[in-house]
Amino acid sequence: MSKNSIKEIVIYRSQEGQSETFVEQGLPQLQGMASQFDGIKSHLTFQSTKEPELFLDIVEWESLEQAERAAQMMEEQMKKADPTAQIAGFGKTDFFNHFKLIS
């Protein structure tokens, strides 16, 4: 990871009882959307071993500007999507932030 790279940490939940639907349908939708943004270097998703509805994404970006632009575009897409185009099984975001390497 270069000094200029940014890590985006996102902790979120699927809808209650929908973790399998989210993993099979919603996650590929989200990853497909994210892969279209400029500056994305990697995108890893983890699922809690104790709470199957809890997920953690670690996304690496080339720059903070690209990460912030992608976050804004993703938020706009999610807001204007009609209910039939919602991400399958997605619940809510608990935590979202960007981090830089300091040592």
* Whole-structure pTM value: 0.89
Give the helix ranges, DSSP H, for the chain. Answer: 19-21, 27-35, 64-80
pLDDT tens digits, 6-57: 999 999 999 999 999 999 999 999 899 889 999 999 999 999 999 999 999 9
Q: What is the pLDDT of residue 4?
A: 77
Among candidate residues 97, 92, 98, the one with its CA nearest the CA of residue 26: 92
Beta strands across the sheet bearing 54-61: 40-47, 54-61, 6-14, 90-100
> What is the CATH class of 15-100?
alpha beta
